[in-house]
Amino acid sequence: MRLNKTLKRSYLRRNRGLYGGSGKGKKGTVRAPPPPPVNNEATRMMMEMMSQFLANKIRFENAVAVDCEMVGVGTKSVLGHVAIVDFNGKQLYNKYVIPPGGTTTITNYREKFSGLTQELLEKVEANNGKRAVKEHSFEVVKRETAAILKDRIIVGHGLKGDFDALEFRPSPENVWDSTEIEVYMKDHPFIPGKKQAKKLKVIAKEFAGNSIQQETKTGHSPLEDARASMNLFRVSLFYPKVVYENMSKP
């Protein structure tokens, strides 16, 4: 019996870190085991990953989508209408453009695709009078759109033509063009092993369930096309698409 008490006292003295007693035979409260040592490298990597995720999320959600419609002035294509929307499809910019020299210089309105008519642009020009030269001039539109597009991810379909029309040169890493993404391409009908872009109308329906460019008699709406492109961008990032009552209405 004495031997057992001696062994108990010895055990309690050796394990005072686990027991709150005095070590003299009175058992105390069991304490929680100490936490495992902190792995500083793992913590650092986790913090970096979280920081990168948040930075990318902010950058993605600051993206804009743009679409332009052109008219012909002689042999040149010039800007006639431009629309820009934000990540949630909200209209940021939507303006008709009067070319230098006025509507009399336009030789082809390309109504089937642009949705622009002589009556429409002449009305814009007449209603604004002298102000049309300023408010709807290419130089003003160029400056205003550049201010919106600067340093943001720019989303669209066939953006080279839009950038040429706007005379805007973005950094390549800021461009998300659905015509250059393989999942939105198809096999070239005549060149084996080569891919070519599908039409926006096709991929908008296939990947985002958006029916666009249905009004074939009135041409394309740049607002509708910009929103369709943004929905493709959203679903590619696993965001839900934005649902519209009418994609071509502000």
72-119 pLDDT per residue, tens: 999 999 999 999 999 999 999 999 999 988 899 999 999 888 889 899
Res. 22: pLDDT tops 60: no
Q: Contact at 8 Å (CB) between 83 and 92?
A: no
143-153 pLDDT per residue, tens: 999 999 999 99
Domains of the chain plus CATH, in order, are: 63-236 (3.30.420.10)
Q: Contact at 8 Å (CB) between 240 and 87?
A: no
For the beta carbon of residue 7, count every other beta carbon within 10 angstroms. Answer: 10
Mean local confidence (pLDDT), 164-171: 96
Determine which of 56-65, 90-99, 117-126, 137-146 has the lowest per-residue pLDDT on average: 117-126
Question: What does the longest C-alpha to C-alpha distance in the chain come to?
Answer: 117
The mean predicted confidence, pLDDT, of the chain is 85
What is the C-alpha separation between 25 and 12, in angstroms, rounded? 7
SS (H, E, C) 188-202: CCCCCCCEEECCHHH
